[in-house]
Amino acid sequence: MGDRVNTGVEGLDAMLKGGFLPARPYVVSGPTGSGKTILAMHFLLEGLRQGEPCLLVTMDEPPSEIKANMAVLGWSLGRLKILDATPDVRAHKRVRSVIDVGTTMDVRDMEDVNGMRQPSQIHALEVSVHSVQKMIKQEFAQRLEQTSQRYKRIVIDSLTALKMFSMQGEDSRILIQSFMRFLAELEATSLIVAEHLRRDTIETEFFLSRGEIRLHKWLDGNVIRRALSIEKFRGSSFDDRICAMTIGNAGIVVFPNAQAAFRGTSSELRVGESFLESRIIEEVSNLLDSVLRQIDEAHRRQLPVKDIEVAVSRAMVHFQRRHYQKALKAALACDAQIKQRMGELPPPPPPASLPKPPGVGG
């Protein structure tokens, strides 16, 4: 295999078997506050450390805020090139003419970033995909001309902002496809920050990206727990577990060997949807497991259990489709049925904390 592009996040490179494949676009996703931007900064910082030209395109936060946030971590991103694509305050008065950012903005070094850019009195800057694309392209060409270097790493923070503010309607899919194609043709390794807005549709950036790193955040009691997983990584094997992650003074650290504490010691679950879901998954799969073992046992005793087998497969289909509640109900029914048929409790008792069947008719 060819070279890999390190992410600079401790633990993550090992999960990726060395890093990203070069010259491809990747996505980092997660809820707000899960550390996406920090992860992207790690990626850029690592590039700078290796002397690679790096570019940050920001659409969410103004560069001055990013600079302040990163100063807390003690990172100097002085040599980072930053492209400010945050739109101005929308002018509601009609006299101000709207100007595309593509025509006016230029790229600055991180160390030159001072305060907030003040909106001009006479015109407001608007951002469109087209203008962002144009800016990046210009910057690439200029860089190549002046220093004969190509940018090696690009971060787009974030595509969700671009999508929400600069695209409307049906065309957004095509615009994103075109934008991702544009990134791929630049032959730089790019990391796109994005949020999953909806779970029931397939969003373009996620299936077009060559890999997705997903960040998780949930409340365990009153502690925020964090974890990271790789959802997809084309052209390479990867560590497919959900791994615990912390954000500390040194930024993000991933612990590939200490898995996220899904079997938390405290059974007090208050919030955290993903956490709750993972508990249900665990319970259903344990239950199905034990039912299957009992079916095997029944076969050995030559009891007729065809109907239960069918019911189990139905439960498994629910499980596959992520209808965990339905799956749990069905699995509990199977469990009751087979126990009844075998006329006794099975030898290996299922895990300690199985929920009591609420009203299993059998």
Binding mask 219-258 for other proteins (x = CB under 8 A): ----------x-xxxxxxx-xxxx----------------
Cβ closest to other proteins, residue 117 vs residue 143: 143
Cβ closest to other proteins, residue 97 vs residue 320: 320
Give burial (CB, 10 Å; 0-12/13-18/19+) of 229.
buried
Give, as ranges, the residues between 269 and 298 that touch other proteins (CB under 8 A).
Answer: 278, 281-282, 285, 288-289, 292-293, 295-296
CA-nearest of 306, 309, 305, 329 to 318 is 329
Which two three-digit tokens encode residue 282? 């665990």
Closest approach of Cβ 10 to other proteins, in Å? 20
Task: Evaluate the omega torsion of the peptide bond into residue 158 and state whether it is cis, within 30 degrees of 0.
Answer: yes
Give the range of 49-57, 77-85, 318-326, 345-353 binding other proteins by CB under 8 A. 318-326
Residue choice 96, 117, 130, 339 for contact with other proteins (CB under 8 A): 130
3-state DSSP helix/strand/coil percent for the chain, to nearest 5?
A: 40, 20, 40
Residue choice 28, 48, 54, 260 for contact with other proteins (CB under 8 A): 260
Q: What distance in Å separates the CA atoms of residue 311 and residue 327, rounded to the nearest whole number?
A: 10
CB 333 within 8 A of CB 345: no
Q: Which residue has the tokens 């709750």?
A: 276
- The number of helix segments (H) and strand segments (E) in the chain equals 11, 12
Cβ closest to other proteins, residue 75 vs residue 319: 319
Q: Which residue has the tokens 């469109």?
A: 128
Q: Does 103 bind other proteins (CB under 8 A)?
A: no
Binding mask 145-184 for other proteins (x = CB under 8 A): -------------------------xx-xxx-xx--xx-x
Residue choice 152, 153, 210, 329 for contact with other proteins (CB under 8 A): 210
Q: Which residues contact residue 324 at a Cβ distance below 8 angstroms, ignoring those fewer than 6 apart? A: 277, 280, 281, 284, 318
CB 40 within 8 A of CB 59: no
Closest approach of Cβ 235 to other proteins, in Å? 3
Q: Which residues contact residue 106 at a Cβ distance below 8 angstroms, ignoring those fewer than 6 apart? A: none
Element (H, E) at 27: strand 25-29
List of residues contacting other proteins (CB under 8 A): 1-2, 21, 23-24, 130, 133, 170-171, 173-175, 177-178, 181-182, 184-185, 187, 196, 198-202, 204, 206-208, 210, 212, 229, 231-237, 239-242, 259-260, 262-263, 278, 281-282, 285, 288-289, 292-293, 295-296, 299, 309, 312-313, 316-317, 319-320, 322
